[in-house]
Structure 1
Amino acid sequence: MLPEEQELARLESELANLEDQVVTAEETLETLKVETAQFQHHYYQIVGWLFAELDRLVAQIARVAAGLEPENTEAQTQAEAAEQQAQKSAEEAGLAEKQPPPPEITPELKQAFRQAAKLMHPNRATTDAERKRRTTIMAMVNVAYEKGDKATIEKLIIEFGHDPEAITGEDVSARLVKTIRRIAQLRRRLNEAQQEIAAQTANELYELRLTITEAKEMGGDPLGDLERQLMQQISEKKIELEMIRQQRVSG
């Protein structure tokens, strides 16, 4: 084997390893997005509407209290802030109620995603035109993955394989240059994906999901406990609202 062929073999081995790392990182990233969406939907289904109701009562209490002191600018400001929070909570709860739950990420769906990513990832392109083409297709793959649409991913794989652009033939020198460039591209993408994963895992929803999962594994029912706590707070706020309304009438 010629020296350049030996170097090509070494680089192609490194390239294959990097491709696996990038595919794994991107699968992890997409799965994190879906699992976070699943948790968010479940969370809002159970306690989101309770938070919205609690914030609505807090806003009403703040507005009635502000009405007792019309010259108190701080009370007016607090009432406005409480009303904005109540509106935000109501919108979030309403949006979650309308949206269907995210799909389950099955092993078969993950396998299809990995196959697609290895075949058509933009980092395998050597020209700008080919990179744009692959980016568009991979975006379609990502959307299908987040929808749990395995059939669409498989269809995209077949269509990509039949594309004339997928057929290549190069000599050793050209393959060396392309492999070196691909390695550089993959390293950049791996770094980007790792940064995106770090951002996802730093998200408050992710932390909350971990905390609740760990508590459930230990036999707890954190969402049930929170639901009961919120219902108790709502009951207390209703009493408080009625009392302050009576105070306003008697005053």
Structure 2
Amino acid sequence: MLPEEQELSRLETDQATLEERVTTAELELETLKVELSQFQYRYYQRPGRLYAELDDWEARIAMVEAGMHPDDVDAQFRAQAAEEQARRSAEEAGTIEKSPFPPPEITPETKQAFRKAAKLMHPDRATTDTERERRNVMMAKVNRAYESGDLETIEKLIVEFGQDPEAIQGDDLGARMIKAIRRIAQLRRRAEEIDKQLSETQSHELYELMVTVQQAEALGSDPIGDLVQEILRQISERKIKLEMMTLTQEPIGNVLGV
């Protein structure tokens, strides 16, 4: 084997290794997005809704207190802040409730199909702007299908895309080496992008909460159930507090004898 052929073989081996790494990372990123979506839905179906209700009671109390002390700037500010928080919580809860069904579980078959599609039609495999745009459109469709657990659509997209033009052999040795070098550079850039996206996603509060809940559940605990009970207790307290304030129309400290 000529030295040039040996170098090409090495480059193509490196390329194949990087392609496998990028495909695996793409799958990890998309799967993480789905898992976070599932957890978010689950969370807002229970404590999320109750937090919105708790914030609403807090806002009501703050408004009554502001009415009792019209000249108290701090009381007015607290009322406005509580009202804004209640509005945001209600909007968040409403956004989740617009989706009547939780995101689906991703099956091993769907993951395998995604890997196949990503290897076949990833935009970084394009050699022209037109081909890159075509691949971007197709991968966007694949990502949407994956997030909804739609294996059939992913398989149809693979067939629709057809055989990868980059797989055609017969180029001269020099051209193949240049193509491999450029492809390796593209793959390295994409790997860095995915690593950054994964890092950003894993630093999000929702991800940290999901991991904490999963770890507790693995030990047999029910952290979400415990949280629900605690929020219900707080809601009950706020209801009693507001009722006492409304009945007396006096500062809550006087009502409680504080």
Short-chain TM bin: over 0.9
Q: Match of 1:141? A: 142
Q: Match of 1:180? A: 181
Once the two structures are superposed, residues 31-68 of structure 1 have per-residue CA deviations (whole angstroms, 9 ceiling, x without a partner) of 00000000000001111111011000000000000001
How much has 1:164 moved relative to structure 2? Answer: 6.9
Q: Match of 2:73? A: 73
Quote the Cα distance in structure 2 between the aligned partners of 1:3 and 1:164. 27
Q: Match of 1:13? A: 13
SS in 2 for 1:90: helix
Matched, 1:61 2:61: yes
Quote the Cα distance in structure 1 between the aligned partners of 2:164 and 2:9. 27
Number of equivalenced pairs? 251
Q: Give the structure-1-normalised TM-score.
A: 0.95
Q: Match of 2:122? A: 121
Matched, 1:109 2:110: yes
Unaligned runs of 5+ in 1: none
Q: Is the 8 A contact 1:141 1:156 kept in 2?
A: yes
Quote the Cα distance in structure 2 between the aligned partners of 1:163 and 1:115. 11
| Matched AA of 2:98 | K
Query: Runs of at least 4 residues of structure 1 off by over 3 A?
Result: 162-169
Q: Match of 1:208? A: 209
Quote the Cα distance in structure 1 between the aligned partners of 2:147 and 2:16. 26
Quote the Cα distance in structure 1 between the aligned partners of 2:45 and 2:181. 50
Q: Is the 8 A contact 1:160 1:166 kept in 2?
A: no
Unaligned runs of 5+ in 2: none
After superposition, the CA RMSD in angstroms is 1.7
How much has 1:9 moved relative to structure 2? Answer: 0.7
Once the two structures are superposed, residues 133-177 of structure 1 have per-residue CA deviations (whole angstroms, 9 ceiling, x without a partner) of 211111111111111111111111111125778756422111111
Q: Is the 8 A contact 2:118 2:139 kept in 1?
A: yes
Q: Is the 8 A contact 1:126 1:178 kept in 2?
A: no
Quote the Cα distance in structure 2 between the aligned partners of 1:46 and 1:212. 14
Once the two structures are superposed, residues 87-134 of structure 1 have per-residue CA deviations (whole angstroms, 9 ceiling, x without a partner) of 111111122122121111110010000000111111112222222221
Q: Give the structure-2-normalised TM-score.
A: 0.93
Quote the Cα distance in structure 2 between the aligned partners of 1:168 and 1:133. 21
Quote the Cα distance in structure 2 between the aligned partners of 1:69 and 1:113. 61
Matched, 1:44 2:53: no
The 10-residue stretch of structure 1 (144-153 or 123-132) with the greater mean CA deviation from structure 2? 123-132
